[in-house]
Copies of this chain bind each other. A is one copy, B any other.
Amino acid sequence: MRVRVGINGFGTIGKRVADAVAKQPDMELVGVTKTHPSYEAQRAVTNGYPLFIAGDGARAEFERAGLPVAGMLSDLLGHVDVVVDAAPEKIGRQNASLYRDAKVRAIFQGGEKADVAEVSFSALANFEAARGKRTVRVVSCNTTGLARAAAVLEPRYGVEDWQATLVRRAADPPESGRGPINGILPNFHLPSHHGPDVRTIFPNLPIATTAVIVPTTLMHVHVNRVRLRRPPADAAELVEAFRRTPRFLVFREWERIDGTPQVMEFGRDRGLGHNDVMENVLWENGIAVNGPTVEFFQAIHQESIVVPESIDAIRAMFDLARDGPTSIAITDRALGLPVP
């Protein structure tokens, strides 16, 4: 029997999770919601995803646009085992009581505070923690990127101190109203909230983060400096450790990927849905080991990195896989991601 999944919100995250659910062998996409007609609502219809109305949306609006509607959000909740909340930030928390009242399990995004759910989740790190839970929060794109890297570094080498500067994209590609157009905006929370957010997954990780916002829409870049207890012999060993881990992509120097524009071009050429690059992206020549200290860049595709995590969260909640690696392998094969 397949787990029946609904997606509340069909924007940047929601449309990707919907596509991902539709590809899983053990899940069924029951429907998605949209507040107003739009090209994204049209896409749901074209894809054959039953379309429900959320928020203050009105059925007449959809009808005028010629978009067939399957019902309201409440109707969708009546037919699913779990809902993935992909509403805009802060709305997820408001939606929580709807889900509770409808007695459906729920996955929340990392834009919500940690106490919105029983557990915060990142598949490589704490798959078991979500097993059987009724509410799970998949941590944000930046936190997912850091947690995945921690899942490589912490058990193997022991993290003594981790400093990360997060160079953040200012807007997603279709968000045409957001700036800045020309400038850098520091995040005046020192350290930033991302460090504590990683500790919702790795409670004792000695990580401190700072962040700036820059005028790009493509990806975040993390500049990491980590002191390790039992450091690798050399960069090659570390490269190998990353390469053997699912959801890591380590470019070679001869591939001539000079930054995030070319990473995204790689994604367009590879041709997974929406040109996504769901892996942590590293560069062989962007990893250095100096004694106990490791430095590395990683680029994070903010739109897609949490998508496979959401799928694994569902599998953990419904006990569909015997362990994390098994779930990850099923997810990644279904999504077309390389399986190391």
A residues at B contact (CB < 8 Å) = 15, 36-40, 42-43, 61, 64-65, 163, 165, 167, 169-171, 173-186, 188, 190-191, 208, 210, 212-219, 221, 223, 225, 251-252, 254-262, 264-266, 268-271, 273-275, 283, 285-288, 295-297, 299
Shortest CB distance A60–B (Å)? 12
Dominant secondary structure at the A interface: mixed
Inside 8 A of A186's CB, which chain B residues have their CB? 221, 223, 259, 283, 286, 297
B288→A191 contact, CB < 8 A: yes
A40 to B177, CA, bound (A): 25
User: 11 A-B residue contacts at CB 8 Å?
Assistant: A36-B256, A43-B266, A165-B167, A165-B210, A176-B180, A176-B183, A176-B262, A186-B259, A190-B287, A210-B297, A212-B297
Task: Give how many copies assemble into the complex.
Answer: 4
Shortest CB distance A236–B (Å)? 15
8 extra A-B contacts, CB within 8 A, seeds A173-B182, A210-B297: A39-B256, A42-B255, A65-B252, A165-B210, A165-B223, A176-B179, A176-B183, A185-B259
Inside 8 A of A268's CB, which chain B residues have their CB? 173, 274-275
Inside 8 A of A274's CB, which chain B residues have their CB? 268-269, 271, 275
Shortest CB distance A145–B (Å)? 14
A214→B167 contact, CB < 8 A: yes
Contact among B38, B221, B251 for A39, CB-based, below 8 A:
B251
B184→A260 contact, CB < 8 A: yes
Shortest CB distance A199–B (Å)? 16
A210→B223 contact, CB < 8 A: yes
Inside 8 A of A288's CB, which chain B residues have their CB? 190-191
A145 to B275, CA, bound (A): 25
A268 to B217, CA, bound (A): 14
Inside 8 A of A265's CB, which chain B residues have their CB? 39, 173-174
Q: Which residue of B lies closest to A273 (CB)?
A: B271
Inside 8 A of A163's CB, which chain B residues have their CB? 163, 225
| Top 4 A-B pairs, shortest CB-CB distance | A185-B259, A183-B261, A190-B288, A165-B165
Shortest CB distance A293–B (Å)? 8
A183→B218 contact, CB < 8 A: yes
- A167-B167, A185-B258 in contact; A180/B180 too (CB < 8 A)? no
- A39-B256, A174-B262 in contact; A181/B273 too (CB < 8 A)? no
B64→A254 contact, CB < 8 A: yes
